[in-house]
Chains A and B, each alone.
Chain A
Amino acid sequence: MISIHSVRQALRSPARLRTEVLAGLVVALALIPEAIAFSVIAGVDPRIGLFSSVTMAITIAVAGGRR
Chain B
Amino acid sequence: MISAATAAVALVVAPVAREHGVGYLVATILLAGAFQMLLAVAGVAKLMRFIPRSVMIGFVNALAILVFVSQLPHLLGVPWLVYPLTAVGIVVMVLLPKLTTAIPAPLVVVALLTGAVVLFGWHVPDVGDQGALPDSLPLPGFPHVPPTLYTLRVIAPYALGAALVGLLESLMTAKLVDDITETPSNKTREAFGQGTANIVTAIFGGMGGCAVIGQTMMNVKVAGARTRLSTFLTGAFVLLLVVALGPVVGLIPMAALAAVMVVISVTTFDWHSIAPRTLKVMPRSETAVMVVTVVGTVATGNLAVGVSLGVLAAMIGFARRVAHLTVVECDPVSVPKTYRVRGELFFASSNDLIHQFDYADDPDEVIIDLSGTDVWDASSVATLDAIRQKYHVRGKTVRLTGLDGASLERLKKLSGRLGV
Contacts and interface: CB of A to CB of B under 8 A. Distances in A.
Nearest to B104: A30
B193 A63 contact: yes
B228 A64 contact: yes
A28 B256 CA distance: 17
Say what secondary structure dominates the interface of chain A.
helix
Contacts of A25: 233, 237
B106 A33 contact: yes
Contacts of B260: 33-34, 37
B2 A31 contact: yes
Contact of B206 (A40, A52, A61): A52
A28 B174 contact: no
A62 B229 CA distance: 9
A61 B107 CA distance: 23
Interface residues of B, number: 94
Interface residues of A, number: 57
Contacts of A21: 229-230, 233
Contacts of B334: none
Contacts of B224: 19, 23
B231 A38 contact: no
A36 B71 CA distance: 12
Q: Which of B5, B196, B200, B204: most chain A Cβ within 10 A?
A: B5
Given A28-B238, A42-B13, A64-B189, A53 B5 contact: yes
B17 A47 contact: no
B91 interface: no
A44 B96 CA distance: 31
A7 B17 CA distance: 38
Say what secondary structure dominates the interface of chain B.
helix
Given A25-B237, A65-B189, A36 B252 contact: yes
Contacts of B6: 38
B4 A29 contact: no
Contacts of B41: none
B200 A39 contact: no
Contacts of A28: 233-238, 241
B261 interface: yes
B48 to A, nearest CB: 13
A62 B232 contact: yes
Contacts of B13: 42
Contact of B228 (A35, A50, A61): A61
Given A38-B7, A47-B242, A57 B252 contact: no
A48 B238 contact: no
B193 A60 contact: yes
Contacts of B231: 24, 57, 60-61, 64
B127 A46 contact: yes
Given A44-B22, A64-B228, A65-B174, A53 B193 contact: no
8 contacts: A20-B233, A23-B219, A28-B233, A35-B238, A37-B258, A46-B134, A59-B196, A59-B200
Interface of A: 3, 6-7, 9-11, 16-17, 19-67
Given A24-B236, A29-B107, A34-B264, 4 more contacts: A34-B261, A37-B258, A45-B22, A45-B132
Interface of B: 1-7, 10-11, 13-14, 17-18, 22, 25, 67, 70-71, 74, 102-104, 106-107, 109-110, 127, 130-134, 137-138, 174, 177, 183, 185-194, 196-198, 200-201, 204-212, 214-215, 218-219, 222-239, 241-242, 249, 252, 254, 256-258, 260-261, 264
